[in-house]
Structure 1
Amino acid sequence: MTMITDLDLGSSIRVAAIRELDPLAADRACFLLREQNARADVPAMAAELRRLVPRLDTAEGFDPQQSVAAMRDLGMFLGSIKRHGPEPLELVPEVLPVLRILGHRTDMVPRDVVHHYCTWNPTGGRQRMYLGDVQEAYLQESVRMVFPHLREGLELCAILSRTEVHDPKFALLTQALTDHVETMVTSISMVVANVTPEFFARELRAYFDEITVGGEVLLGPAAAQVPLWLIDQAIWASDLSEPSHEEFVRDSVPYSLPRWRELYEDWTRVPSVVSRLVEAYGDDPAEAERRMPDLRDGAEALARLLRVIVVFRGRHLGIARKAYDADLRLFPVGSGGASVDLLKQIIDLTRATARLTGARQGHQPPAGRAPKAGAARAQGRTA
Structure 2
Amino acid sequence: MTRTLGIDLGSSIRSAAIRGLDPLAADTLCFDMRRQNAEADVPALVAALRSLVPSLDDVAGYSPEACVAAMRDLGMFLGSIKKHGPEPVPLVPEITPVLLELGRRTDMVPRDTVHHYTTWNPAGGRQRMYGGDIQEAYLQESVRMVFPHLREGLELAGVLSDTPVEDPKFAVLTEDLTGHVETMVASIDMVMANVSPVFFARALRSYFEEITVDGQVLLGPAAAQVPLWLIDQAVWASDRSEPGYEEFLRDSVPYSLPRWRELYAYWTGVPSVVSRLVDAYGEDPDATERRVPALRASSEALARLLRVIVVFRGRHLGIARKAYDADLRLYPVGSGGASVDLLRQITDLTRATARLIARRAGGMGAEAGHEHGHGHAGAESAGRRTA
TM-score by length of 1: 0.94
1:335-376 CA distance string (max 9 Å, x none): 000000000000000001011111222389x9xxxxxxxxxx
Match of residue 232 from structure 2: 232
| Counterpart Cα distance in 2 of 1:4 and 1:313 | 35
> Does residue 336 in structure 1 map to residue 333 in structure 2?
no
Flag the 1:51–1:261 CA change in 2: closer, same or farther, 3 A: same
CA distance in 2, matches of 1:6, 1:207: 32
Alpha-carbon deviation of 1:4?
Answer: 4.5
Identical pairs, percent: 76
Separation in structure 2 between the aligned mates of residue 343 and residue 363 of structure 1, nearest angstrom? 26
Alpha-carbon distance between aligned partners in 1 of 2:268 and 2:214, rounded to the nearest angstrom = 30
> Which residue does 1:119 correspond to in 2?
119
Instruction: Name the amino acid aligned to 1:97.
Output: P
Taking the aligned partners of 2:5 and 2:152, their CA distance within structure 1 comes to 19
The equivalent residue for 1:48 is 48
Instruction: State the match for 2:132 in structure 1.
Output: 132
Give yes or no for the alignment of 1:182 onto 2:203: no
Q: How many residues align?
A: 364
- Tell me which amino acid in the other structure corresponds to 1:34: R
Q: Any residues of structure 2 matched to 1:315-330 within 5 Å, and which?
A: 315-330=315-330
Which residue type is aligned with residue 282 of structure 2?
A: G
The residue identity in structure 2 corresponding to 1:88 is P
Instruction: Return the alpha-carbon distance in structure 2 between the equivalents of residues 332 and 66 of structure 1.
Output: 35
Report the Cα distance in structure 2 between the residues aligned to 1:224 and 1:358, rounded to whole angstroms. Answer: 27
Distance 1:33 1:288 in 2: 63
Supply the distance in 1 between the matched residues of 2:215 and 2:272 (Cα, whole angstroms).
Answer: 36
For 2:363 and 2:356, locate their aligned partners in 1 and report how far apart those are by CA, in whole Å.
Answer: 11
CA–CA separation in structure 1 for the residues paired with 2:329 and 2:4: 39
Partner of 1:72: 72
| Structure 2 residue 215 is the aligned partner of structure 1 residue 199 | no
Tell me, in whole angstroms, the C-alpha distance in 2 between the residues paired with 1:321 and 1:94.
40
Cα distance in 1 for partners of 2:318, 2:98 equals 39
Contact 1:4 1:64 in 2 (8 A): no
Aligned pairs for 1:152-191 within 5 A = 152-191=152-191
Deviation string for 1:114-161 (max 9, x for gaps)? 000000000000000000000000000001000000000000000000
The aligned counterpart of 2:306 is 306
Aligned equivalents of 1:116, 1:72: Cα separation in 2:
5
Q: Distance in 2 between matches of 1:166 and 1:287?
A: 14
C-alpha deviation, 1:204, in angstroms: 0.1
Residue 288 of structure 1: CA displacement? 1.1
Give the RMSD, CA atoms, in angstroms. Answer: 1.4
**Kept in 2: contact 1:142–1:191 (CA 8 A):** yes
In the other structure, the counterpart of 1:83 is 83
The residue that corresponds to 2:347 in the other structure is: 347
Extract structure 1 runs of 4+ deviating beyond 4 A: none
Are 2:150 and 1:150 aligned? Answer: yes
Deviation at 1:108, TM superposition (A): 0.1
Structure 2 unaligned spans of 5+: 367-387
Number of the residue aligned with 1:374 = none
- Determine whether 1:12 maps to 2:12: yes
Partner of 1:262: 262
> Match of 1:373?
none
Unpaired runs of at least 5, structure 1? 367-383
Contact 1:286 1:363 in 2 (8 A): no
Instruction: State the partner residue of 1:280.
Output: 280
